[in-house]
Amino acid sequence: MSTTTAPKRKAAPAAPPAAETPKPGSSTNSPPVGIRKLNIGAVAAKPASTKTAYPVLTDTTGDIAKLAGDIFDESAELEALEGSIGAKKGELRSLALAQYFPLHRGKGEIPTSLIARSADGREVTVQFKNSYKVMPDESAVAPILGDERTARFLRQKLGFKIEGDKIPEDALEPIYEGLVALFAEHGAQAALTGTQGIVPTKDFHTLRHTQLTEEENRAFDLACPIQVAVGTKGRGEKAR
């Protein structure tokens, strides 16, 4: 008796692995090793900063050029001189301080200054003011003074500033009256000080050139001078 063997069926080809879904923020073009970088080529590069172009004063006589050159040169000399003077003052302060405490040890009346004499007899005053740097807290000096002297010789320094320009106009009067009443209630009227005055509006600086004539602008400047600063910082390179 013959037996028939069924033909073997070919195995189905294995399915290719499913492609992984890229994670947010990943890039299929990222190199396998090294620092991962984000390509920002689509974003415009920040333009290089350039010197602001201002109108140049007309100079038919050369006077302006002479003044500008003198101001620039002498400003540089002045800065160097101020730096030298500052360093010498600091050195003199250290030398005077070394004598200040031994000289006045145990005395109740202390003169405000010491004198430094030059070789030809000229005098420089070294003044020791009753004024000290404000410390954030007492931790730096409390171990030196101890608890009792810390409480005796140190106090809290307070200061409050109110920017009146940021208060709504209709609230100015009630706030002012409330402050005065509050300080008076606690007998501290002397601690409340203030200043007042009149200044042009913020848009006056630009609008004055269209709303006032040249004569009016000059007359206004005599009564309320515009603040003018003459500077050399950032303008050292010669025009090309």
Model confidence over 92-105: pLDDT tens digits? Answer: 999 999 999 999 99
Q: What is the pLDDT of residues 198-238, one digit of tens each?
A: 889 888 999 999 999 999 999 999 999 999 888 877 766 56
**Dist CA 10 CA 8 (whole Å):** 6
Alpha helix (H) residue ranges in 120-201 = 142-153, 169-185
Q: Tell me what the mean pLDDT of segment 117-137 comes to.
A: 93
CB 69 within 8 A of CB 226: no
- Report percent pLDDT > 90 for the chain: 57
* Per-residue model confidence as pLDDT tens digits over 3-25: 455 555 555 555 555 555 555 44
Q: Which amino acid is at 76?
A: A
Amino acid 12: pLDDT: 54
Q: Is the overall model pTM greater than 0.85, yes or no?
A: no
Structure tokens at 95: 């030398």
* Cα separation values, 90 from 26, 112, 156, 213, Å: 59, 18, 29, 52
Residues sharing a CB contact under 8 Å with residue 234, sequence separation 6 or more, in sequence order: 51
